[in-house]
Amino acid sequence: MNRINKLLAEKDNILSIYFTAGYPSFDDTRTVVKSLQDNGADLIEIGVPFSDPIADGPTIQYTNTIALENGMTVENLFQQLVDVREDVEVPLIMMSSLNPILQYGFEEFCKKCKEVGVDGLIIPDLPVEEYIAEYKTIVEGYGLRNVILITPASTDDRIRLIDDNTDAFIYMVSSSAITGTNTKFASDFSAFASRLEQMKLKNPRITGFGISDKESFDKVCETSKGGIIGSAFVKALKDSKDVAKSIGDFMVQFKN
């Protein structure tokens, strides 16, 4: 069974953490992944840095800039993930804009993901219709799970199309905002969550955007399978002299 599906079957209140590969330093990728697992992350999203991010706010845009300046590329990232499964068991998802994947070669990217032990993809700017027509067969052929985003602006028909073409979880964007900037989290999220509950979708939802601490994480877990923290986490790594310690200090709030 794919590790993502196994996790979804076994656990609620899933804590997913996003970080940008190559940030704060080029060689930090393995340290970040291992330290996140050791400090309680259930699922890890590895961000491929890109110069023109789609929905990222200033915090994650900054980490993209630094990572690219540090020399991070798709090929370098795959090299860093070789043998990652020797000491990491939690599911890993590669999150990337479509352009770097196309530049690398879509099928080759999926093949490399399978080789190093990545379990799924999040490609925010790949429309579901294009995914179904051009890429779904490739993704599924390598045993990967493609996680697709929905927002409060998504129509019911579109949400159902995504649900029908997903075999993991749906990435529920808490509000119509970029990452790290949502100031109306509670009201926006509650209305959207209520709407989705009534739709009776077959796939569980994990919520991202606007989740920064234990309080907001617990809030989204009331009506979804878990929560995703990105901007608040990478902010905690800024200017860190000891990445593993900084991760432990950040993650301690989520330990019961």
- The secondary structure of 178-203 as a DSSP string is -TT--S-HHHHHHHHHHHHHHHT-SS
The per-residue pLDDT for 61 is: 86
Is-catalytic flag, 242? no
**Of 255 and 53, more confident:** 255
The per-residue pLDDT for 255 is: 82
**Of 185 and 86, more confident:** 86
Place of tokens 């606007």: 210
Does 178 score more than 50 pLDDT?
Answer: no
- Do 12 and 225 touch, CB atoms closer than 8 A? yes
Q: Which helix (H) or strand (E) holds 9?
A: helix 3-10
| Per-residue CA distances from 41 to 2, 21, 36, 179 (Å) | 17, 16, 5, 20
- Do 209 and 177 touch, CB atoms closer than 8 A? yes
The per-residue pLDDT for 179 is: 47
Task: Say how many residues make up the chain.
Answer: 256
The residue annotated as part of the active site, out of 27, 28, 52, 56, is 56
Q: Which CATH superfamily is domain 3-250 in?
A: Aldolase class I (3.20.20.70)
Instruction: Using a cut of 0.75, tell me whether the model's pTM lies above it.
Output: yes
The residue annotated as part of the active site, out of 45, 119, 163, 188, is 45
The per-residue pLDDT for 122 is: 97
Does 183 score more than 60 pLDDT?
Answer: no
Report domain extents, the chain: 3-250
- Mean of the per-residue pLDDT values for the chain? 92
Is-catalytic flag, 56? yes
Measured CA to CA, the distance from residue 94 to residue 112 in angstroms comes to: 11
